[in-house]
Amino acid sequence: MGVNSNRVEDFSSQETTLRITTESIVPGMEIHNVCLPPKKTTLQKLKQRLGEIFFPDDPLYRFKNQTWCKKLLLGLQFLFPIFQWGPEYSLRLLRSDIISGLTIASLAIPQGISYAKLANLPPIVGLYSSFVPPLIYSILGSSRHLGVGPVSIASLVMGSMLSETVSPHDEPILYLKLAFTATFFAGLFQASLGFLRLGFVIDFLSKATLVGFMAGAAVIVSLQQLKGLLGIVHFTTKMQFIPVISSVFNHRDEWSWQTIVLGISFLVFLLTSRHISMKRPKLFWVSAAAPLTSVILSTILVLCFKLKTHKISIIGYLPKGLNPPSANMLSFSGPDLALAIKTGIVTGILSLTEGIAVGRTFAALKNYQVDGNKEMMAIGLMNMAGSCSSCYVTTGSFSRSAVNYNAGAQTAVSNIIMATAVLVTLLFLMPLFYYTPNVILGAIIVTAVIGLIDYQAAYRLWKVDKLDFLACMCSFFGVLFISVPSGLGIAVGVSVFKILLHVTRPNTLIMGNIRGTNVYQCLGRYKEASRIPSFLVLAIESPIYFANSTYLQERILRWIREEEDWIKANNEDTLKCVILDMTAVTAIDTSGIDLVCELRKMLEKRSFQLVLANPVGSVMEKLHQSKTLDSFGLNGIYLTVGEAVADISALWKSQP
């Protein structure tokens, strides 16, 4: 076979192409050009990179080629989504939203009282938090189905973090001030993430981390409710497993059989209704109405038998009226400011993660998009406003949103209807809760948080990714035996360790040719793949950075040593060429460039040729700018592994 291999390579030219021209070496095989990316200035590269990081969705695309009036309208719709669906709103939609709004109100009222108790706050604060924030979200939020209000995880974390330093019973005013201040900082943090488009920060809370965290928190929350379910008066304020269990058995003399009977009865009722709704989704209203039904029935029972149920603790007096202003209670100085900021950031991240995840889940079911950055700003602003109107941290609740969705909600007006129902309760119905037993609130909390224990997800983690399962278990046991924030911190640490492990110890593969094709795949994965005589083809599946360059050098040299041992054992042709498939090398830094240079020199001393295959544009550009390609000669870089093998093999054959 005749060979004509005229290769022209102009590495010093300012042109954007490295010209490699040759006639077909083998039938069906053509050697293609290996190109540099189009030339750009440093400012252009920086602009493109920042755009990819902060504006992957190109939020300003809708404003292009529009008149000023149209841009103003689009701007209002962008900032206030209510202007998008408001003009098309109809009575048919209103009817659906009224039904769904009243349905979630029946769930929101008992949940608000219960979750405030979980955060060690007065019950009325939970109702306040179900009034103002939903109104603000209905104007700013982009989700049609998100049910806004207090949630169990944020309530638990706030209660546990603040109570470690300040007692809600001994210093109730200071505790309340810290709760409102923490809520303000949670909102400020959330809104800042949205405004600066830094939503990727919350991605460090992986699914595995959250599965373990929520399960551990659910167990701790459930155990904490034993105080109310057993009628114990003196109970530990600690949130760890051992102190809670010890407190339960150390105060057996305080157990009240009346409270136990009432609590177990309604707990069975609530769990049964939840089971029915899970088995038959069309009966979602059974689970939604169960908490309010339990509150009404238990209140009537205690009221009718109040002389015989004096050992059952009740809520007592709750003030009527609208949310009183609390801006004067925000404290931005003093020794407890750091605690408020830390609590705000932790609860802000958790509530933001839950709110966006829930919003996107139901948006996907109805085939519309939820803007993550706008959601962050909406949730942040409603928490900042809530902190000034006697509210604590709120977000999108999964249970409320699920009920809202199943009840047929069409727009965010359902939140307005729910807030209106809460307003009526605040103005006129508060005295009716006087005889509501605290045990029923504990039963409602247990029923709500027990759904956070996702053992099936933990099992999937074990089957799929052991490191993810380790992060899950670290989070679970950290929450259970150390503390809620420490457990979360441990889990995030394990997740970060996993990232570092992937970065510093990237995967490398030895590749072989699929017989009869020009395709090269992992030898250990495909039985039909085979080695090419005199060639060692290696693939690197990560960027090459300072953090992994030393490891990659050692690993590549080990691959070469093992290949030479295999050749000796099988009497194969001598190794002459090492090809690095750089398809998956998405970036390279100066340490990576030094690695390539050092590796070429080391192999050259051993009479091996180093060849690069298919480097991506940014990698190719850096290799060119550093003059590294000059040292590779005429046959040092190819578009594909197949072309490299074909061309180099032909050159070897053409040599005398």
The helix/strand/coil state of 56 is coil
Per-residue tokens: 378: 């909406």
Q: pLDDT (tens digit, 9 = 90+) per residue, 440-467?
A: 878 887 887 787 788 888 899 899 888 8
What's the mean pLDDT in 390-414? 85
Q: pLDDT (tens digit, 9 = 90+) per residue, 281-294?
A: 777 778 777 888 88
Q: What is the pLDDT of residue 439?
A: 85
Give the angle subtended at the CA of 623 by the CAs of 622 and 629, to the nearest 5°: 155
pLDDT of residue 244 exceeding 70: yes
pLDDT of residue 23 exceeding 50: no
What confidence category does residue 536 fall into, taking pLDDT thresholds of 50, 70 and 90? very high
pLDDT of residue 3 exceeding 50: no
The helix/strand/coil state of 522 is strand
Q: What is the pLDDT of residue 628?
A: 86
Q: How far apart are CA 184 and CA 192, in angstroms?
A: 12
Give the angle subtended at the CA of 574 by the CAs of 570 and 576, to the nearest 5°: 140
Q: pLDDT (tens digit, 9 = 90+) per residue, 484-511?
A: 777 777 877 887 888 888 888 888 999 9
Q: How far apart are CA 332 and CA 352, in angstroms?
A: 23
pLDDT of residue 45 exceeding 80: no
Q: Residue holding tokens 């109970």? A: 235
Q: What are phi and psi of 148, to 5 degrees?
A: -95, 145
pLDDT of residue 566 exceeding 50: yes
Q: Which residues of 637-656 are buried (b: 16+ CB within 10 A; e: fewer)?
A: bbbbbbbbbbbbbbbeeeee
Q: What is the pLDDT of residue 577?
A: 93
Q: How far apart are CA 252 and CA 137, in angstroms?
A: 46
Higher pLDDT, 313 or 594: 594
Q: How far apart are CA 117 and CA 155, in angstroms?
A: 9
Top mean-pLDDT range of 38-42, 236-240, 419-423: 419-423
pLDDT of residue 5 exceeding 60: no
End-to-end CA distance of the chain: 14
Q: pLDDT (tens digit, 9 = 90+) per residue, 191-218?
A: 999 888 777 776 666 778 878 877 887 7
Q: How far apart are CA 416 and CA 413, in angstroms?
A: 5
The fraction of the chain above a pLDDT of 90, given in percent, is: 26
pLDDT of residue 393 exceeding 50: yes
pLDDT of residue 385 exceeding 90: yes
Query: Is residue 348 a contact partner of residue 187, using CB atoms and an 8 Å limit?
Result: yes
What confidence category does residue 656 fall into, taking pLDDT thresholds of 50, 70 and 90? low
Q: How far apart are CA 457 and CA 468, in angstroms?
A: 11
Q: What is the pLDDT of residue 2?
A: 36
pLDDT of residue 520 exceeding 70: yes
Q: What is the pLDDT of residue 348?
A: 92
Q: Find, among 134, 136, 143, 139, the residue nearest to 107 by Cα.
A: 134
Q: What is the pLDDT of residue 28?
A: 52
What's the mean pLDDT in 133-156? 89
Report the range of poorest mean pLDDT among 64-73, 180-189, 570-579. 64-73
What is the overall mean pLDDT for the chain?
A: 83
What's the mean pLDDT in 241-252? 84
Output the pTM of the full model: 0.72
What's the mean pLDDT in 559-575? 90
Q: What is the pLDDT of residue 26?
A: 45
Report the range of poorest mean pLDDT among 123-127, 166-170, 231-235, 513-517. 231-235
Higher pLDDT, 228 or 642: 642
Strand 529-530, strand 535-540: pairing? unpaired
Query: Is residue 149 a contact partner of residue 400, using CB atoms and an 8 Å limit?
Result: yes
Q: How far apart are CA 453 and CA 384, in angstroms?
A: 31
Q: What is the pLDDT of residue 10?
A: 43
Q: What is the pLDDT of residue 475?
A: 84
Q: pLDDT (tens digit, 9 = 90+) per residue, 71-113?
A: 787 777 777 888 877 787 888 888 888 988 888 888 788 888 8
Q: What is the helix, strand, coil percentage profile of the chain, to 5?
A: 60, 5, 30
Q: What is the pLDDT of residue 286?
A: 81
Top mean-pLDDT range of 183-192, 224-233, 312-321: 183-192
Q: How far apart are CA 351 and CA 156, in angstroms?
A: 11
CB atoms within 10 A of CB 41: 8
Q: What is the pLDDT of residue 498?
A: 82
Per-residue tokens: 200: 């990727």
pLDDT of residue 388 exceeding 90: yes
Q: Find, among 155, 148, 144, 85, the residue nearest to 114 by Cα.
A: 155
Per-residue tokens: 656: 């005398």
Q: Residue holding tokens 């250990």? A: 524
Name every residue whose Cβ is closer than 8 Å to that of residue 297 and which is 6 or more positions away in sequence. Answer: 266
Strand 34-35, strand 17-18: pairing? antiparallel
CB atoms within 10 A of CB 15: 11
Strand 508-514, strand 17-18: pairing? unpaired
Q: How far apart are CA 562 and CA 566, in angstroms?
A: 6
Q: Find, among 456, 429, 430, 426, the residue nearest to 321 by Cα.
A: 426
Query: Residue 286: what residue type?
Result: V
Q: At what angle do helices 466-481 and 241-250 cross, to 10 degrees?
A: 40
What confidence category does residue 41 fall into, taking pLDDT thresholds of 50, 70 and 90? confident
Q: What are phi and psi of 611, to 5 degrees?
A: -125, 140
Query: Is residue 645 a contact partner of residue 637, using CB atoms and an 8 Å limit?
Result: no
DSSP state letter for 426: I
Q: Where are the domains of the chain?
A: 2-39+505-654, 94-499
Query: Is residue 251 a contact partner of residue 243, using CB atoms and an 8 Å limit?
Result: no
pLDDT of residue 189 exceeding 90: yes
The helix/strand/coil state of 350 is helix
pLDDT of residue 354 exceeding 70: yes
Domain 2-39+505-654 has CATH 3.30.750.24: yes
pLDDT of residue 16 exceeding 80: no
Q: Residue holding tokens 């046959």? A: 635
pLDDT of residue 20 exceeding 50: no
3-state per-residue secondary structure call for 77-96: HHHCCHHHHHHHCCHHHHHH
pLDDT of residue 481 exceeding 60: yes
Query: Residue 21: what residue type?
Result: T
Q: What is the pLDDT of residue 516?
A: 80
pLDDT of residue 521 exceeding 60: yes
Name every residue whose Cβ is closer than 8 Å to that of residue 544 and which is 6 or more positions away in sequence. Answer: 552, 585, 587, 588, 589, 591, 592, 595, 596
Q: How far apart are CA 291 and CA 399, in angstroms?
A: 12
Q: What is the pLDDT of residue 578?
A: 94
Q: Residue 527 to residues 275, 511, 514, 524, 645: CA-CA distances in angstroms?
A: 49, 11, 9, 7, 20
Per-residue tokens: 31: 């050697």
Q: How far is CA 143 from the centre of its chain?
A: 18
Q: pLDDT (tens digit, 9 = 90+) per residue, 255-306?
A: 888 888 888 898 899 889 888 888 887 777 787 778 888 888 988 888 887 6
Q: Residue 446 to residues 64, 111, 129, 398, 440: CA-CA distances in angstroms?
A: 52, 11, 20, 15, 10
What confidence category does residue 114 fall into, taking pLDDT thresholds of 50, 70 and 90? confident
